[in-house]
């Protein structure tokens, strides 16, 4: 994580977090209003009514959702860290850490994401089976209803009829969120929490909790939490957002590719999140290899840092 001294004293971490929240709220409002404007221009007032319907095969509906996704993602997640850097009068590449990628680190990040898939999937399936006590059954029912709504939206976004649809989905669902979410969560939020607590582990896990919670998918909370922590440690050790963006893109891109494969083989997309493709021993091997690769990445980054100091 880049905490190099700026030309002037930075604002306090508490004020920075407040600014991030305020910029995010402003970005959400601006992105939503702009989405409405684009929808009305492109599809008329009926387009706004279509946004309330999350079922059916209406191509216009899918296009509307994708337009709104792009605009809200950009304004909600990219605008706040950009504005924060401007307030601090700092260069984006220095403020958040966009060091030139090293091939070894790139390969390690790719291997980490590949070998972590089985254990992340296992945690996700276990999370899907979560059952609350009888006294909290109404809460569980509400959470399940929200999860079903999110699944309907996901299925609409993942609809792929041709290669163009696949490439568009790869951009909207994989690349854009990877860049935008890492920019704000690891770049801005985790950085501010580290300045606040001076403890990387606290900063990484608090940010991971916020990262997972803000998706409002309760039965996917724990795998997303682990992914957030994984991205956080990669950022802390490498000091560059490029690697976390790559890791995030690989995770999201895998889901897009799986959706394409399932549709090509006429398999229901509803099974995308709760169907296991790995055995228990593969999950154990996955965990051990992921831990080994993370330790190796930490060792190599420390070694590189020591050489630079020398």
pLDDT in tens, 180-191: 999 999 999 999
Q: N- to C-terminal Cα distance for the chain?
A: 20
Cα separation, 155 vs 83, whole angstroms: 33
Cα separation, 293 vs 227, whole angstroms: 15
If we measure between CA atoms, which residue out of 202, 200, 208 comes closest to residue 224? 208
Using the predicted structure, report yes or no on whether residue 278 has a pLDDT greater than 90. Answer: no
Q: What percent of the chain has pLDDT over 90?
A: 55
pLDDT in tens, 246-263: 999 999 999 899 888 888
Cα separation, 179 vs 249, whole angstroms: 8
Cα separation, 188 vs 167, whole angstroms: 29
pTM score over 0.85: yes
Domain ranges of the chain: 94-309
Task: Identify the sign of the CA torsion 182, 184, 187, 191.
Answer: negative
Using the predicted structure, report yes or no on whether residue 4 has a pLDDT greater than 70. Answer: no
Residue that has been written with the tokens 């994984």 in this structure: 230
Please name the residues in contact with 5: beta carbons below 8 A apart, sequence gap of 6 or more. none
Ranges 47-61, 62-76, 111-125, 272-286: which has the least confidence:
47-61
Find the length of the chain. 310
Using the predicted structure, report yes or no on whether residue 8 has a pLDDT greater than 80. Answer: no
Using the predicted structure, report yes or no on whether residue 300 has a pLDDT greater than 50. Answer: yes
What tokens were used for 26? 């402003």
Asked if residues 180 and 189 have their Cβ atoms less than 8 Å apart, the reply is no
Q: What is the pLDDT of residue 40?
A: 79
Q: What is the pLDDT of residue 109?
A: 97
What tokens were used for 191? 């950085």
Using the predicted structure, report yes or no on whether residue 53 has a pLDDT greater than 60. Answer: no
CA 174-177-180 angle, to 5 degrees, is 145
Q: What is the pLDDT of residue 133?
A: 86
Query: Residue 59's CB: how many other CB atoms inside 10 A?
Result: 10
Cα separation, 303 vs 217, whole angstroms: 39
Looking at per-residue pLDDT, the higher value among 178 and 154 belongs to: 178
What tokens were used for 13? 């971490």
What tokens were used for 124? 């996700």
Q: What percent of the chain has pLDDT over 70?
A: 87
Q: What is the pLDDT of residue 142?
A: 80
If we measure between CA atoms, which residue out of 239, 243, 245, 226 comes closest to residue 177? 245
- CB half-sphere exposure, 182, CA atoms < 13 A: 33
Asked if residues 88 and 73 have their Cβ atoms less than 8 Å apart, the reply is no
Q: What is the pLDDT of residue 219?
A: 83
pLDDT in tens, 205-234: 999 999 999 988 888 899 999 999 999 999
Residue that has been written with the tokens 């850097």 in this structure: 85
């Amino acid at each position: 994580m880049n905490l190099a001294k700026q030309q002037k004293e930075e604002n306090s971490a508490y004020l920075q977090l407040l600014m991030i929240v305020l910029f995010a709220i402003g970005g959400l409002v601006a992105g939503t209003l702009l989405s409405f404007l684009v929808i009305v221009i492109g599809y008329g007032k009926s387009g706004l009514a279509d946004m309330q319907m999350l079922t059916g095969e209406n191509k216009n509906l899918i296009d509307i959702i994708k337009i709104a996704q792009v605009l809200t993602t950009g304004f909600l997640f990219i605008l706040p860290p950009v504005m924060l850097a401007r307030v601090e009068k700092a260069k984006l590449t220095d403020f958040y850490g966009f060091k030139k990628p090293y091939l070894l680190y790139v390969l390690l990040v790719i291997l980490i994401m590949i070998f972590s898939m089985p254990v992340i999937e296992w945690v996700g399936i276990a999370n899907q089976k979560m059952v609350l006590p009888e006294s909290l059954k109404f809460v569980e029912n509400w959470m399940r209803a929200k999860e079903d709504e999110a699944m309907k939206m996901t299925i609409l976004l993942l609809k792929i009829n041709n290669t163009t649809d696949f490439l568009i989905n790869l951009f909207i669902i994989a690349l854009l969120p990877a860049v935008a979410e890492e920019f704000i969560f690891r770049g801005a939020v985790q950085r501010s929490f580290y300045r606040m607590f001076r403890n990387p582990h606290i900063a990484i896990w608090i940010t991971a909790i916020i990262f997972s919670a803000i998706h409002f998918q309760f039965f996917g909370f724990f795998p997303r939490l682990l992914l957030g922590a994984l991205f956080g440690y990669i950022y802390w050790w490498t000091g560059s957002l490029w690697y976390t963006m790559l890791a995030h893109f690989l995770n999201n891109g895998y889901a897009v590719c799986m959706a394409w494969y399932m549709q090509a083989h006429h398999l229901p997309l509803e099974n995308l999140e709760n169907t296991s493709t790995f055995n228990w021993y593969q999950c154990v091997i996955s965990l051990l290899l992921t831990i080994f690769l993370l330790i190796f990445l930490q060792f190599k980054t420390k070694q590189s840092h020591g050489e630079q100091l020398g």
